[in-house]
Amino acid sequence: MEKISRTKIIDLLATETFGAKVNVKGWVRTRRGSKQVNFIALNDGSTINNIQIVVDLANFDEEMLKQITTGACLSVNGTLTESVGSGQKAEVQALEIEVLGTCDNTYPLQKKGHSMEFLREIAHLRPRTNTFGAVFRIRHHMAMAIHRFFHERGFFYFHTPIITGSDCEGAGQMFQVTTMNLYDLKHDETGAIDYSNDFFGKQTSLTVSGQLEGELAAMAMGAIYTFGPTFRAENSNTPRHLAEFWMIEPEVAFNEIEENMQLAEDFIKYCLQWALDNCLDDIQFLCNMFDKELVDRLRFVLNNEFVRLTYTEGIKVLEEAVANGHKFEFPIFWGADLASEHERYLVEVHFKAPVILTDYPKEIKSFYMKQNEDGKTVRAMDVLFPKIGEIIGGSQREENYEKLARRAKEMGVPEKDIWWYMDTRRFGTAPHAGFGLGFERLLLFVTGMSNIRDVIPFPRTPNNAEF
Ligand code: 4AD
Ligand code: MG
């Protein structure tokens, strides 16, 4: 076969230089046609669109042609021509075909319309479907958007550790990391496990958040963000929870809660605009397939201000809803942690816009949040979104050493685990604030997918760590 350098399908479909000899490589999506001529839809992942390969059967070896089945991988040399029937501008008239990889008839993606549940069982192959190709291209573009947003604003990307000795959120939902022999654990005099034998000489886990280390960096570099995997061993089998998810956590010295809210709103809007500007083919496909209102919803959020109110005001709205006959599964009262149904009521039914709730009761939030004068609430902020509920959680941080130490003690966070964090409040403390955006929650919103397992390539959830 003549050696011609490969052109990606996305570029072939955009070119106008018909008549050129090109090479295209990709996987067969479908093959149809007559006894004389066949049409192969080839996809190489560069775009959701396939290129049509036109094959004049008389010019090719019969044995080779038999190998061109759904899923097979081909290299095709041919002439790029203007297309009339393929739905695309260009197609390739095949001159030479090499089958790079045959595909046997146990290939599970033979027909269209597989269920999401079935595709999760074949997560190693699902990127080859239109849906997951679209989702994972969008995922890439969103990661790019995030780095660009912060870079353009002078934030530094700061890498926080994945293995840690402290529980940032204090919720005790950590996966332990150990090299100890679990069949032969050593115990001390009190019967407790003796971690001095372990790899790090102490008990360690996978991080639930990079925030505490991120704050150390903000106290030196001014504005930073983290973007990495985080791990939570919460046993919540919901369409919005993963045991392994990615989080983006900006942290900014001298910001107070108002600036923190504005940053969160600007950040999300930048990402949504980026998606519409760079992923429209894929978004349009998902919109047609799964969620007719997807594009409208993205535009709506872009064009409207987020509603800002306090938790206390939010509770009033929810209590009024109950008084007017609305039924919630979980009880609602001042002090209750909001369930997803409450968050979505505020966003979807009452305000019909994204909502930022602030000033939550201190009992339901983490030890590090700045304490308000009222002694009851903290300067927390949650951003609540249609269809998702909480997409961002953040706060202004308590910068006062004594107040922070007291709260850590009350909430059972051991001083020995966070002495280094406490140090920032002794050495030039400053007001500062930050938040965490759940990357997969953002992707749920941008793609319109309804289950978080379908926006990460290989989901980790209770009883599920295949691939
Ligand atoms: O509200 P969270 O727990 O906040 C923090 O971790 C803070 N340390 C962030 C900060 O202030 N720097 O988590 C932040 C976000 C949530 O709003 C949600 O979007 C996402 O992370 N999230 C999850 N996403 C998927 N699966 C889970 N189990 C998640 N838990 C939280
Ligand atoms: Mg939260």
pLDDT for res 379:
98
Span 162-189, pLDDT tens digits: 999 998 888 889 999 999 999 999 999 9
Span 319-374, pLDDT tens digits: 999 999 999 999 999 999 999 999 999 999 999 999 999 999 999 999 999 999 99
Distances (CA, A) of 415 to 203, 236, 405, 418, 439: 15, 29, 8, 5, 31
Distance 27 CA to ligand 2 centre (A): 42
pLDDT for res 236:
85
Nearest-atom number in ligand 1 for the CA of 241 is 26
Distance 255 CA to ligand 2 centre (A): 20
* First-to-last C-alpha distance (Å) of the chain: 36
Q: What span, in angstroms and rounded, lies between the C-alpha atoms of 159 and 224? A: 10
Please list every protein residue whose CB sits less than 6 Å from any atom of ligand 1: 168-169, 209, 211, 232, 234, 241-242, 245, 247, 249, 390-395, 434-436, 438, 440-441
Helix (H) or strand (E) segment spanning residue 179: none
pLDDT for res 245:
98
* Pair 24, 12: CB distance under 8 Å: yes
Sheet with 244-253, edge to edge strand ranges: 156-157, 223-231, 244-253, 432-438, 389-396, 377-385, 355-361, 307-310
Mark the residues whose beta carbon lies below 5 A from ion ligand 2: 393
Spatial CB neighbours of 282, under 8 Å, sequence gap ≥ 6: 48, 133, 134, 135, 137, 138
Distance 383 CA to ligand 2 centre (A): 9
Q: Nearest 10 degrees: CA dihedral of 422, 428, 430, 434?
A: -50
DSSP for 282-333 reads HHHHHHHHT-TTHHHHHHHHHHSPPEEEEHHHHHHHHHHHHHTT---SS---
Positions of the chain with pLDDT under 70: none
Q: Whose CA is nearest to atom 23 of ligand 1?
A: 438
* Pair 135, 454: CB distance under 8 Å: yes
- What is the DSSP pairing of strand 432-438 with strand 307-310? unpaired
Q: What span, in angstroms and rounded, lies between the C-alpha atoms of 314 and 261? A: 17
